[in-house]
Structures are given as C-alpha cells and as structure tokens.
Chain A
Amino acid sequence: MAFIIEFESVRFRYPESDHDSLCDISIGFEPGSFNAILGHNGSGKSTLAKQMNGILLPTEGRVLVSGMDTANEDHLLEIRQTVGMVFQNPDNQIVSNVVEEDVAFAPENLGIPSEEIRERVDNALKQVGMYEYRMHAPHLLSGGQKQRVAIAGVLAMQPKVIVLDEPTAMLDPVGRQEVISTIHRLCREKNITVILITHHMDECIDADRLVVMSNGKIVLDGKPIEVFRNVERMEQEGLDVPETMRVLFDLNLAGEELPPDVLQMKCCAEYIAASLRKREQEAWQK
C-alpha cells in the first residue's frame, strides 16, 4: 500500500542552530493506521510533526503527503487540508470565543459554502462528543474538552491524517483519557490515520506502530510490544516502559515468546500466572 506520509532521508536544522534536529529520517506511515511517536523532551519528535504539513521544510531530503512534496507551494493548502494538526496547549490554538465558530475556522479558510460548513461543523462536534457545547465559550471548558474542540476544528477539514503533538501533556488523567479514546475511535470508525506524539508510554500501548526517537534519529520502530521489550534500551533513552513490561522484564520473562496482548493488564496477569505454574511444575518434576 502507498504511504500517506513519507519521509525520504530528511535532515533538518533550525536556522542559527549548530546541530541537526532531524538526521537522515526515512519513514512511511500507512493509511488508516494508529502510530505513536515516543521520545524524551528535545528528541526531535515535535520537529518531525511540523514537517508533516509543511510548517517546517526539510533542509535536505523531502516529505511527501499523499505523493505531494511539502516543499511545493502550490500544494500547501491541499497538504494542510490532508494532514490536520493538534497542538499541546489547547488555549493557543482556539481562535474564537464560541466553540462552533472556532470549528468553522478551517472550512471558512478553505472557501467552502456556508451550508456545507454548517454541516461539517455539526458533524465534527458530534464526532468528538462536544455538540452540546457548540455555543459555549472555550476558555470556560476543561482541558480535555478544549482539546476535543481542537480535534473537531481539524476534523472539519475532513483530513486523511491527524497529527497530535503531545495533546495530553497539559491534561489531567480524565482529560487524557477523553482525548486518547476520541482519537482511537476516529481511527477505527473514520479510518483516519493518527500520528500521536507523546512521552506517556501508556498512550502507546494500543497503537499499531510505535516509533521511538532520540537526538533526531529513529532508534526503535515496530509494534509496541516489540519496542517495549527493549527495556534497557528504553531506559537509556530516558523513557519508561509500561508496568506490565517492567514486571515481565524483572521476572526474566521478557525474553520469551510473549502473547501479542501482553501489555494489557489482564493478559499480562494471566501470562505471569501461567508461567509461574509452569515453573512450579518443572521444579516438581526435577
């Protein structure tokens, strides 16, 4: 299948900086997949995100969105319409004092007729469960609600991809849960490709693919279980692994053939219980 976003040997350096923020990144994202990008602060993961809709352009190499080069000015609007972007601070991406007017901002910029904007806005707000709040003032909403409004604002462009740059960093656990379950649902039901940038490893467990970044490079890439089983490597990168994997590792079980859902509490517990029973039996037989 063709990649929806593709990086071809991308190198990037901020002007006035003395080092590369991205070095030789080559990676492609499959349409409809849920991707998590994990990395410590300053690992280059936000810089990577900003390459995906042409906010930043590669110093070397190129980024293709649905086959369009982000460096080509003529495609800029189409690229930004294809790849919606949600940022960390909800307050700094909401442009209006009324929720529905904020959601209408992008389609208005795209010159869409009024009746269709109205339809898109209502749909987008319903999809994130904020329709009842359409007349509210955003600054009086909770953090999780504000982020859902921001997601609706992006959905109104009818994008193929949503990139979220640490959308939960400023939220409490309830808000975090609201946002994460919303984007999982959008990926599943609307077939939207999700690229979630985060440093909360728990948010990566259910992803199709997990990419770990460090010092501007991709250091690990694979299914979450395959990535997280490199416990020592993750620690070197200043990152944690989920408690399930940590326990398996400390019990010397991480090296063995693991069931695919072992990062889930329930599956992990059953696996540990079964392994202990097996060990006990083996000890008896001896």
Chain B
Amino acid sequence: MAEITVRNLLHTYSVGTPFEKTAIRDIDLKIGQGENIFLLGHTGSGKSTFVQHLNALLQPTAGEVLVDGEDINRSKISRRDIKHRIGLVFQYPEYQLFEETVQADIAFGPRNMKLPETEVQERVLEAAGFTGIGEELLSRSPLELSGGQKRRIAIAGVIAMHPEVLILDEPTAGLDPSGSRQIMENIRSYREKTGATIIVVSHDMDSAAEYGDRLIVFERGSVSMDGSPEEVFSHPRELTSIGLNVPKAAALASALRDSGLRLNGPIYTHEQLLSAIRCAGGEPAC
C-alpha cells in the first residue's frame, strides 16, 4: 500500500542558467492509499512538474517525497522501483507508442519489470480489459488505430504495471465527449477493482466535479486549495481569479439564485442542480 507524503517540495528548472525558473515551492501534502484526487490549475501552475516528482522522474531541488515513510530518491534502485508502484500517464500518451503490435506495446512496462512472460501476457489481457480494448485489436499495429483507441492503449501500458497509484496528466485532452467519458469510466473501474489511488491532472472542472473526491488546486507553483469538491467549489471567486472556472452546474445554480430562486445545499453536479430546482419548484419528493 502506498501512502505518499510530500514535504516542503521545491523544484527549480535550469539552475544557474538564464532560463532558471522555480516551478513549484512549499508543497506539503499527504495522499492516502485509495484516494481519488483531481489536481487542478491552469497551464504553468506547476501541477505537471509536481506529479513528475511522485515517481522520481524529477528530483526535488529541496524537500522530499516519501512513500510509506521512505524517501523515494534515496538510491538509484529506489528511484527505479518506485516507477513500478506509481504509474504516470503523460499528456497525449499516444505519442509514446512504438511497438509493432498493441500487445507488445502494452507489454513494454511489465517486461521492463522483468516479470515472467506468462504473467506479462496475463497482465496485457487484463489491462486491455480495463481500458475496453478488444482482443481483436491486440495483434494490430497501434499506429493504424483511432486517436481514442491509441490513448486507451497507452493508458493500458501503464495499468499493466499494476501501479498502486495511477497518475494521469490530462487523460482526456483533445478527445470528444464520448471518448472522454469512456476514459474516465475506465479509470474509475480500475480504481474500484484494485483499490488504487488515482490522481488526475486536469483543468476540466466539470469532470472534477463528477469524478473527483478530493480536489487540489495549484496556483503559481503552490497549493492554493485542497478539499472536497463541495469545499473547493464553494469559493467560486477564488477559482475565477486564478483562471479556473466553476462547474457549469454551479454557474447555472448561482445564476438561478440571482434570479430569485431559493436552491438548497451545495450544487456542483448536474444531478444536484436538478434535484435542487425540483425542490424549489415544490415537487413532493422533497
């Protein structure tokens, strides 16, 4: 089980050059096993830099990242092994596909872990199942498939490593609504079946409202908000001031309140909005 503790994390790019830039600073976070997190913030807020510290792809300039109490950067070996436990899916991961078949590409991660071949194949099938990739696709070349399929194959390639923590950087960027929904459902089913921690980096507030249990908002390299959707979305003004929106349902709810409707409770999803309007309209179910 992986419990992540981040202490006083600081990262500066290109130290000692004219391009020196501090990307993140003063980050203290605890992430428990099985949490379902959305990391929000606009481009350049440091969220992508932050997640690359969680599997030791980047080393802190100062501060430390502990998994189950142990510093992940303590040795070269620990830095390698942590990548097997904490999986990171980059933005546009379809650009990393390189093998001749879908099957071989998904198997790349497990093979790097030096697992026996039978287990590798088992994991490939299982990961393909999680991401809804039919067996008939496994022998095809990933390059001839559609954008959405490629994206899911790339995600399967990380899932096949059985990460205890699965981090995805904007997994739905550039996909159409049904493609996006499919991927979010795939991730949800991986979490429900394995109990893995999920961290999704995003700037889509609507999917954060729908799928997230804990929202962490980054601004200029630091954590500016951290709490449940209810807590975070109760500060619409702070969110807009740092270039983020509130979910559409929340925006419509506040417009409804402005036009004199009395809506009860926190509203940030479509379902909440509907039931609140129905109650305000005097429907008997309330």
Q: Is the CB of A265 within 8 A of B255?
A: yes
- Chain B residues whose C-beta falls within 8 Å of the C-beta of A201 in the assembled complex: 177
> In the complex, what residues of B have CB within 8 A of residue A67's CB?
none
Residues from chain B with Cβ under 8 Å of A238 in the complex: 176-179
Q: How far is the CB of B84 from chain A (nearest CB, A)?
A: 31
Q: A265 — which chain B residues lie within 8 A by C-beta?
A: 251-252, 255
A141 to chain B, nearest CB (A): 12
From A180-188, A218-226, A245-253, the one touching the partner chain is A245-253
Contacts of B43 in A (CB 8 A): 142-143, 172, 174-175
Residues of chain B contacted by A41 (CB below 8 angstroms): 146-148, 175-176, 179
With both chains docked as a complex, state the minimum distance between the C-beta of A165 and any C-beta of chain B, in angstroms.
Answer: 13
Structural contact, B280 and A276, CB atoms closer than 8 A: yes
Contact yes or no, B252 A269, CB < 8 A: yes
Count chain B residues whose beta carbon lies closer than 8 angstroms to a beta carbon of A.
35
Contact B255 A266 (CB under 8 A): yes
Q: How large is the interface on A (under 10, 10 to 19, 20 to 34, 35 or more residues)?
A: 35 or more
Q: In the complex, are the beta carbons of B248 and A170 less than 8 A apart?
A: no
Contact partners of B175 in chain A: CB under 8 A: 41
List residues of chain B with CB within 8 A of the CB of A270: 259
Task: Give the residues in chain A near B148, CB-CB below 8 Å.
Answer: 41
A240: B residues at CB distance < 8 A: 177
B244 proximal to A (CB < 8 A): yes
A40-B176, A238-B176 in contact; A247/B259 too (CB < 8 A)? no
Residue among A88, A239, A247 making CB contact with B177, cutoff 8 Å: A239
Q: Give complex CA distance A240, B43 in Å.
A: 25
Contact status A273-B261, CB under 8 Å: yes
A244 contacts partner chain B, Cβ-Cβ < 8 Å: yes
Q: 19 other contacts beyond A143-B43, A170-B174, A173-B245, with CB at 8 A cut-off?
A: A41-B175, A88-B174, A142-B43, A170-B173, A172-B203, A173-B42, A173-B203, A173-B244, A174-B243, A239-B176, A243-B248, A247-B277, A251-B278, A266-B259, A269-B256, A269-B258, A269-B261, A276-B280, A280-B281
- A residues contacting B by CB (< 8 A) are 40-42, 88, 142-143, 169-170, 172-175, 199, 201, 238-240, 242-244, 246-247, 250-251, 265-266, 268-270, 272-273, 276, 279-280, 283
Closest A-B pairs by Cβ, 10 of them: A238-B178, A243-B248, A269-B255, A199-B176, A273-B259, A40-B176, A269-B256, A276-B281, A240-B177, A265-B255
